[in-house]
Amino acid sequence: MRRAILAAFAKRLAMPDLRWMPDEGLTPGRIRIELLAGLTVALALVPEAVAFAFVAGVHPLVGLYAAFIVGLITALIGGRPGMISGATGALAVVMVALVAQHGVEYLFAAVVLMGLLQLVAGIMQWGKFIRLVPHPVMLGFVNGLAIVIFLAQLGQFKVPGSMENTGHGMSGGEWLSGGPLYLMLALVALTMVVIWVMPRITRIVPAPLAGIFVVAALVIGAGLDVPRVGDLASIEGGLPQFHIPIVPLTWETLEIILPYSVILAAIGLIESLLTLNLVGEMTGKRGGASQECIAQGVANTVTGFFGGMGGCAMIGQSMINVKSGGRTRIAGIAAALFLLAFILVGAPLIEQIPLAALVGVMFMVVIGTFAWNSLTILRKVPLMDAFVILLVTVVTVMEDLAVAVVVGVIVSALAYAWNNAKRIHAVTRESRTEQGAKVYEIQGPLFFGSSDGFGEIFDIESDPERVIIDFANSRVVDQSALQAIEAVAGRYEAAGKQVKLRHLSRDCHKLLTKAGHLMVDSDDDPDYALAVDYSVRTGILGGH
């Protein structure tokens, strides 16, 4: 068993797309673009990691260490080059209750268990189930996340030092007003203009990085009094140290951390896999879902042992990276190493960067992330798809993206089941091979949703002595379908009439055979070799 698990783990790490070079090759120009993209991402990571640490009720370095370790490991072995991972708000809001009730050591233990659960998901290749997420859910997810990113930036428009860290996140705070507010808005607008204009002038420097440098130079050079990164918290620190979580190794501890670990693992994988799909659409790459699960699992397991709060893929930073030209693993690795350099030696300089510049970058991410075309297609797509888009968007903003995606998938599945349930009907004719027999040609799938409609198709009182139910254009799907067939057959039997089933597909035939009490005559239908005659004297499911 152990060898099988290790072999599966090695196989997942050996998957394709662990690439270091883009299609055009690793030229000096490409390396420059990747490094500058990584620097841009690292600058944007600092305030986000600090803010999410505050939300979770832990020290800022706990968030920064998570951003470094998770970002580095996923950049090395993740499922999609170009993706950026780190501490996220979706996980932070789950962690806050655990930290408040039991302390940060229990958080580290929960992150380790979270990583192990994600490893299991990767080894079992459960990442492929992300394919079940419909496109309307993806549109709602993207739109909702864009709104969440936008709302998260509004906290930067509060007076530095006026917010209180209560252990349940940052609360309170006075909004900027008058001159300070207008100056902040002007600097944000300037950043956005630079980012918009820069690609039209030159692509030597990524536009977001140019926006940050221009505004930072203006603020520092002119000595403008505006909120800066250092107003959030000091980011200076040392290397993360190996640290086994100090918690009792008891069943009680497991009972405390397991619920949190399961939720964190699920949210982390959902956000990471949806981001993987989004980045894949932008870069033209596919696959890597299970590999991403493995990478997230390894990253969070390691992070828990080095004093980090855990993390997952970050759609905002991933968009910054991709739009800055990052296409290989070099950009993600560079972002993580730059972030570590900021912590070790660059804190005094980074803390002088105005928050307005970073807010401007994130606002441009919001504009680029929001699926604006979804506003125009709402009137063109089916009403249920439009409803799902709006529903997922609202739930993402009001709750979190994991709940939103689950709700969206459930609603889409129910709508699909309902539509298929209405498709069940039958075309009737006289049998060409059996004189006097009536044939019901069933159209549409027979499953739990259509079983009632199936029973209403037949006119048992008026039908002749022999009836053939033809499933050539249908499919028997589940136990409810078997029960529906049994019920119809029982009604015919009570009326003293005979029923024969035809044209069952191989899987349907296997399903009916497992139920027992079937007489099989493959010569009855040589084209299918699957014809099944039903004996009304015994019943399909009688006694089972």
Distance CA 40, CA 322 (A): 11
Residue owning tokens 């037949």: 458
Query: Which is more confidently placed, 250 or 472?
Result: 250
What pLDDT sits at residue 260? 93
What pLDDT sits at residue 21? 53
Interacting residues of 294 by C-beta distance below 8 A, sequence separation 6+: 9, 12, 13, 77, 118, 119, 122, 123
Residue 54 to residues 170, 245, 476: CA-CA distances in angstroms? 6, 20, 54
Query: Which is more confidently placed, 113 or 315?
Result: 113
Query: Which is more confidently placed, 290 or 511?
Result: 290
What pLDDT sits at residue 505? 66
What pLDDT sits at residue 158? 80
What pLDDT sits at residue 162? 52
In the chain, pLDDT over 70 holds for what percent of residues? 85
Per-residue pLDDT at 93 exceeds 60: yes
Q: Where residue 110 falls among pLDDT bands split at 50, 70, 90?
A: very high
- The DSSP letter of residue 14 is T
What pLDDT sits at residue 17? 46
Per-residue pLDDT at 11 exceeds 60: no
Strands 498-502 vs 519-520: parallel, antiparallel or unpaired:
unpaired
Which pair of structure tokens corresponds to residue 304? 């828990």
> Are the CB atoms for 534 and 540 separated by under 8 Å?
yes
Per-residue pLDDT at 403 exceeds 70: yes
What pLDDT sits at residue 522? 34
In the chain, pLDDT over 90 holds for what percent of residues? 30
Query: Which is more confidently placed, 221 or 128?
Result: 221
User: What rounded mean pLDDT belongs to the chain?
Assistant: 82
What pLDDT sits at residue 50? 84
What pLDDT sits at residue 531? 36
What pLDDT sits at residue 169? 43
Residue 364 to residues 24, 228, 262, 409, 432: CA-CA distances in angstroms? 28, 19, 34, 29, 69
CA dihedral 115, 117, 121, 123 (to 10 degrees): 80
Determine whether 425 is exposed, middle or buried from the number of CB atoms within 10 Å of its CB (0-12, 13-18, 19+): middle
| Full DSSP string of 237-303 | -------------SHHHHHHHHHHHHHHHHHHHHHHHHHHHHHHHHHT----HHHHHHHHHHHHHHH
Per-residue pLDDT at 378 exceeds 80: yes
Interacting residues of 180 by C-beta distance below 8 A, sequence separation 6+: 159, 225, 226
Distance of CA 28 to the CA centre of its chain: 35
H-helix or E-strand spanning residue 516: none
> Are the CB atoms for 458 and 440 separated by under 8 Å?
yes
Per-residue pLDDT at 397 exceeds 70: yes
Interacting residues of 366 by C-beta distance below 8 A, sequence separation 6+: 146, 147, 149, 150
* 12-64 residue pLDDT tens: 444 434 445 555 567 888 899 999 999 999 988 888 888 788 878 889 899 99
Query: Which is more confidently placed, 127 or 516?
Result: 127
Distance CA 164, CA 140 (A): 33
Residue owning tokens 């299918």: 528
Helices 383-398/135-153 angle, 10° precision? 30
- Domains, the chain, ordered by start: 27-377 (no CATH), 425-533 (3.30.750.24)
What pLDDT sits at residue 335? 95
The pTM (predicted TM-score) of the whole model is 0.74
> Are the CB atoms for 332 and 69 separated by under 8 Å?
no
* 1-10 residue pLDDT tens: 445 444 544 4
* 117-127 residue pLDDT tens: 999 999 998 88
Mean pLDDT confidence for 205-231: 89
What pLDDT sits at residue 390? 92
Strands 466-476 vs 498-502: parallel, antiparallel or unpaired:
parallel
Q: Where residue 166 falls among pLDDT bands split at 50, 70, 90?
A: very low
Report helix, strand or coil for 505: coil
Per-residue pLDDT at 342 exceeds 50: yes
Query: Could you tell me which of 249, 187, 243, 251 has the C-alpha nearest to residue 220?
Result: 187
What pLDDT sits at residue 161? 59
Residue 469 to residues 223, 457, 541: CA-CA distances in angstroms? 85, 11, 17
